[in-house]
């Protein structure tokens, strides 16, 4: 048996959660998990609050806050914001976990014993303005950043140096002995893992990185908030583990490890961290943890263009105030493609998409079915055979949705579901079930309605769950397809007012 762990890349304290994170990472992961569950798959959604690194160290210095109180307040806040957007995690953790610390240290010792980690001289950049140690991404000029606020990490060698924290250009270098991981030793395994990735775009980005020899990866940090290096590698007691090393192991912490279950990870993330998940993750998994059975895939998306996006759509509370939870979810899922192209949001566009697609197509179809069943005076229809043509139509569409899911493509899956709605609507018009208001006709309409509802509610759970159709009886599409087709329209009547308000 296989269990899919959909992972959403961790948010770092004191980062502010915005619609950009939701759109690139958390919402696609949530919808993917809900759809997989609807298809009857064993799939769970996991993520965590990352409480290590340079930013939290700075936040602690700035606010004089207590570490535990600070991380708990952010940890709490993030979870409340996810909940507001109906993003449900099966396991949401925090990275200052004792299991994680033990595992990180033993994995480093393992690499040390194998001779895959070595100590060598390296140059550390230190800002004389604020005394921070500055890795590459923290010493680039602001105007070299893209409008998404990110640096193009593949082409930043020749840029002028400036401290990202205090804007000082007074950056000096010191020689330190740091620990480096020899990534080339795992090259064959890394390549074979990358070749299995479903997204051609992500695969190509990563394979082009592998064309050159990989540089050794410095996982040493000083003046840092994080796990200390293992004692045997930390003579002066001043070394900490770079957070990317431990974050990646953190995904395993969140897995429901049961020996009889084969784990598969599907990582949902923004395009800037594809390298960590596509090159470093397989290295750590195979070489440091000796895990050669866990499979993984990467579902990466582009960034939200902050300059071209309406400010009111950025904050979690302001977007919910403006559009409501389900309309926000629908707009984002409909708008953001399953690839690493950047995107932008606008209010007029959101209104158009919500009105034209969700309300006038999907909602109008549901409303039409409701009216047909309501006007028929058929109270229940049980044990009625569904037409072979309908079964064929639905099976074909469900297969297409499953194919999209296998490619982690939730935007494509949404388009398939909207096509199912359109084809179901056309089928009802052709067959004119509304002219023969008997049990058999109503069962056909009810069946088509139920399948669309089970699928679309992964995107807009509140609208559908407020409407309260089939919630208990039809928990998965396969139930609808294979099990009993009992259906009562009594729930339709009782929620009529909610329905009219929404559609």
Structure tokens at 171: 């950056």
Q: How far is the CB of 127 from Zn ion (least distance, A)?
A: 3
Q: How far is the CB of 53 from Zn ion (least distance, A)?
A: 16
d(CA 339, CA 300): 6
Q: Reduced to 3 states, what is the DSSP secondary structure of residue 158? A: coil
Given the rule CB under 5 A, which of 81-89, 113-121, 160-168, 361-369 is the region that contacts Zn ion?
160-168
- Give whichever of 174 and 192 is closer to Zn ion, judged by the CB atom: 174
Applying CB under 5 A, among 13, 71, 126, 163 the residue interacting with Zn ion is: 163
Could you tell me which residues come within 8 angstroms of residue 93 by beta carbon, excluding any fewer than 6 positions away? 46, 47, 48, 49, 250, 253, 254
- Give whichever of 171 and 228 is closer to Zn ion, judged by the CB atom: 171
Q: Which of residues 104-133 bind Zn ion (CB under 5 A)?
A: 127, 129-130
Given the rule CB under 5 A, which of 87-95, 155-163, 404-412, 476-484 is the region that contacts Zn ion?
155-163
Q: How far is the CB of 59 from Zn ion (least distance, A)?
A: 15
- Give whichever of 163 and 181 is closer to Zn ion, judged by the CB atom: 163
Binding track over 27-46 against Zn ion, x by CB under 5 A: --------------------
Q: How far is the CB of 152 from Zn ion (least distance, A)?
A: 22
168 binds Zn ion (CB under 5 A): yes
Could you tell me which residues come within 8 angstroms of residue 220 by beta carbon, excluding any fewer than 6 positions away? 176, 178, 179, 229, 239, 240, 241, 242
Beta carbons of 495 and 465 less than 8 angstroms apart: no
Q: How far is the CB of 179 from Zn ion (least distance, A)?
A: 25
Structure tokens at 51: 């409480």
54 binds Zn ion (CB under 5 A): no
- Give whichever of 225 and 263 is closer to Zn ion, judged by the CB atom: 225
Given the rule CB under 5 A, which of 41-49, 166-174, 271-279, 470-478 is the region that contacts Zn ion?
166-174
- Give whichever of 155 and 172 is closer to Zn ion, judged by the CB atom: 172
Name the residue among 373, 412, 416, 376 with its Cα closest to residue 398. 416
- Give whichever of 61 and 166 is closer to Zn ion, judged by the CB atom: 166
Applying CB under 5 A, among 76, 102, 119, 166 the residue interacting with Zn ion is: 166
Q: How far is the CB of 125 from Zn ion (least distance, A)?
A: 10
d(CA 243, CA 94): 13
Q: How far is the CB of 54 from Zn ion (least distance, A)?
A: 11
Positive/negative CA dihedral, 325, 326, 328, 332: positive
Name the residue among 165, 170, 153, 140 with its Cα closest to residue 223. 165
- Give whichever of 131 and 256 is closer to Zn ion, judged by the CB atom: 131
- Give whichever of 129 and 324 is closer to Zn ion, judged by the CB atom: 129
The beta strand positions in 349-443, using DSSP E, are 380-381
Task: Count each helix (H run) and each strand (E run) in the chain, helices first.
Answer: 21, 13
Q: How far is the CB of 134 from Zn ion (least distance, A)?
A: 7
Q: Which of residues 310-349 bind Zn ion (CB under 5 A)?
A: none
Q: How far is the CB of 60 from Zn ion (least distance, A)?
A: 17
**CA separation (Å) from 404 to 108, 194, 414?**
38, 20, 9
d(CA 310, CA 18): 13
281 burial via Cβ count (<10 Å: 0-12, 13-18, 19+): buried
Q: Where are the alpha helices (DSSP H) in 174-324?
A: 187-195, 200-210, 243-253, 274-275, 281-283, 316-323
Q: Which of residues 244-303 bind Zn ion (CB under 5 A)?
A: none
- Give whichever of 127 and 417 is closer to Zn ion, judged by the CB atom: 127
d(CA 58, CA 225): 9
- Give whichever of 127 and 464 is closer to Zn ion, judged by the CB atom: 127
Name the residue among 217, 338, 196 with its Cα closest to residue 271. 338
Given the rule CB under 5 A, which of 7-15, 157-165, 439-447, 494-502 is the region that contacts Zn ion?
157-165
165 binds Zn ion (CB under 5 A): yes
Q: How far is the CB of 164 from Zn ion (least distance, A)?
A: 8
Given the rule CB under 5 A, which of 168-176, 243-251, 306-314, 355-363 is the region that contacts Zn ion?
168-176
d(CA 373, CA 212): 64
d(CA 299, CA 233): 35
- Give whichever of 166 and 498 is closer to Zn ion, judged by the CB atom: 166
d(CA 326, CA 498): 14
Q: How far is the CB of 182 from Zn ion (least distance, A)?
A: 32
Structure tokens at 151: 């640096």
- Give whichever of 224 and 229 is closer to Zn ion, judged by the CB atom: 224
- Give whichever of 67 and 165 is closer to Zn ion, judged by the CB atom: 165
Given the rule CB under 5 A, which of 101-109, 156-164, 182-190, 193-201 is the region that contacts Zn ion?
156-164
Q: What does the DSSP 8-state code read for residue 53?
A: B
By CB under 5 A, how many residues form the interface with Zn ion?
7
d(CA 287, CA 230): 17
Q: How far is the CB of 114 from Zn ion (least distance, A)?
A: 38
The bridge status of strand 240-241 relative to strand 220-221 is: antiparallel
Q: What does the DSSP 8-state code read for residue 107?
A: H
Q: Which of residues 347-386 bind Zn ion (CB under 5 A)?
A: none
Structure tokens at 367: 């409303």
Q: How far is the CB of 139 from Zn ion (least distance, A)?
A: 9
Residues that bind Zn ion (CB under 5 A): 127, 129-130, 163, 165-166, 168
């Amino acid at each position: 048996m296989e269990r899919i762990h959909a992972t959403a890349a961790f948010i770092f304290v004191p980062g502010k959660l915005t619609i950009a994170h939701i759109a690139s990472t958390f919402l696609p992961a949530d919808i993917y998990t809900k759809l997989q569950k609807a298809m009857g798959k064993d799939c769970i959604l996991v993520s965590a609050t990352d409480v290590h690194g340079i930013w939290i160290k700075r936040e602690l210095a700035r606010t004089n806050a207590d570490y535990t109180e600070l991380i708990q307040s952010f940890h709490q806040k993030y979870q409340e914001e996810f909940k507001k957007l109906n993003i449900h995690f099966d396991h949401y953790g925090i990275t200052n976990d004792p299991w994680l610390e033990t595992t990180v240290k033993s994995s480093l010792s393992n690499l040390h014993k194998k001779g895959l980690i070595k100590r060598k001289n390296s140059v550390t950049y230190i800002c004389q303005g604020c005394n921070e140690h500055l890795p590459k991404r923290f010493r680039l000029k602001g105007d070299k950043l893209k409008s998404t606020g990110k640096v193009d990490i593949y082409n930043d060698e020749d840029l002028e140096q400036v401290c990202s924290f205090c804007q000082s250009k007074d950056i000096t270098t010191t020689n330190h002995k740091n620990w480096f991981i020899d990534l080339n030793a795992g090259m064959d395994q890394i390549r074979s893992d990358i070749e299995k990735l479903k997204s051609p775009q992500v695969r190509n980005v990563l394979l082009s990185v592998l064309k050159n020899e990989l540089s050794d990866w410095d996982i040493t940090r000083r003046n840092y908030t994080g796990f200390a290096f293992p004692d045997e590698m930390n003579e002066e007691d001043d070394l900490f583990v770079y957070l990317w090393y431990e974050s990646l192991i953190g995904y395993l912490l969140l897995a429901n490890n049961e020996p009889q279950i084969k784990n598969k990870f599907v990582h949902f993330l923004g395009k800037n961290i594809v390298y960590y998940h596509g090159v470093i993750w397989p290295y750590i998994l195979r070489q440091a943890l000796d895990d050669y059975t866990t499979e993984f895939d990467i579902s990466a998306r582009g960034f939200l263009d902050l300059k071209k996006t309406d400010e009111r759509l950025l904050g979690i509370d302001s977007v919910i105030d403006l559009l409501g939870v389900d309309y926000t979810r629908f707009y984002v899922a409909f708008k953001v493609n399953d690839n690493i192209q950047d995107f932008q949001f606008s209010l007029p566009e959101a209104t158009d998409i919500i009105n034209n697609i969700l309300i006038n197509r999907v909602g109008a179809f549901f409303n039409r079915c409701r009216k047909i069943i309501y006007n028929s005076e058929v109270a229940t229809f049980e044990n009625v055979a569904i037409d072979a043509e309908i079964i064929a139509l639905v099976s074909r569409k469900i297969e297409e949705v499953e194919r999209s899911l296998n490619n982690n493509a939730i935007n494509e899956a949404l388009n398939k579901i909207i096509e199912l709605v359109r084809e179901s609507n056309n089928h009802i018009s052709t067959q004119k079930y509304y002219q023969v208001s008997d049990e058999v006709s109503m069962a056909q309409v009810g069946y088509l309605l139920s399948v669309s509802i089970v699928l679309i509610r992964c995107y807009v759970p509140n609208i559908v769950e407020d409407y309260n159709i089939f919630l208990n009886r039809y928990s998965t599409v396969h139930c609808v397809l294979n099990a009993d087709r009992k259906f009562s329209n009594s729930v339709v009547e009782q929620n009529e007012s909610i329905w009219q308000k929404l559609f």
